[in-house]
């Protein structure tokens, strides 16, 4: 005799749908966070390349502002003796869907150094 068990699929879906939504939210947020980190790195590299010869801190900050990068935690170390700029920055970006699983924001940090040697800029 075969017993019919109605509703098993419904119970399974009720359990799996919130898990799938959570994973999807995490994937979207990680993608957004990666995009923001790439943007921050590329802007920083460009700012270093454009300002390695002038070494003016205010001009560097203005470049970040033009590229819509938060400079609240921006640290600029300039060594004029060896034409070196070290830029550290930390930005917080709000979570899009991570709020569903309790993640309100993500922190992105960068530390990039540029040095002018033999007329060429080397980024580390």
By the 8 A CB rule, do 123 and 44 touch? Answer: no
Q: Which parts of the chain are beta strand (E)?
A: 75-79, 84-94, 105-117, 120-123
The DSSP secondary-structure symbol of 97 reads S
pTM: 0.80
For 49-80, the DSSP string reads HHHTTT--HHHHHHHHHHTT---TT-EEEEET
pLDDT digit string, tens, across residues 7-52: 788 888 899 998 898 888 888 888 999 999 999 999 999 999 998 8
Where in the chain are the domains? Answer: 11-123
Residues 59-69, mean pLDDT to the nearest whole number: 93
* Burial of 57 from C-beta contacts in 10 A (0-12 / 13-18 / 19+): middle
Structure tokens at 104: 């309100």
Give the pLDDT of residue 3.
Answer: 61
Structure tokens at 15: 């359990």
């Amino acid at each position: 005799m075969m017993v019919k068990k109605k509703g098993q699929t419904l119970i399974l879906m009720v359990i799996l749908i919130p898990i799938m939504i959570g994973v999807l939210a995490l994937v979207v947020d990680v993608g957004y966070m990666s995009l923001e980190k790439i943007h921050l790195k590329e802007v920083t590299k460009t700012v270093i390349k454009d300002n390695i010869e002038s070494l003016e801190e205010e001009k560097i900050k203005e470049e970040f502002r033009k590229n819509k990068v938060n400079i609240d935690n921006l640290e600029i170390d300039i060594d004029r003796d060896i034409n070196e700029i070290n830029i550290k920055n930390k930005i917080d970006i709000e979570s899009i869907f991570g709020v569903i699983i309790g993640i309100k924001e993500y922190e992105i940090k960068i530390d990039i150094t540029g040095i002018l040697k033999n007329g060429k800029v080397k980024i580390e």
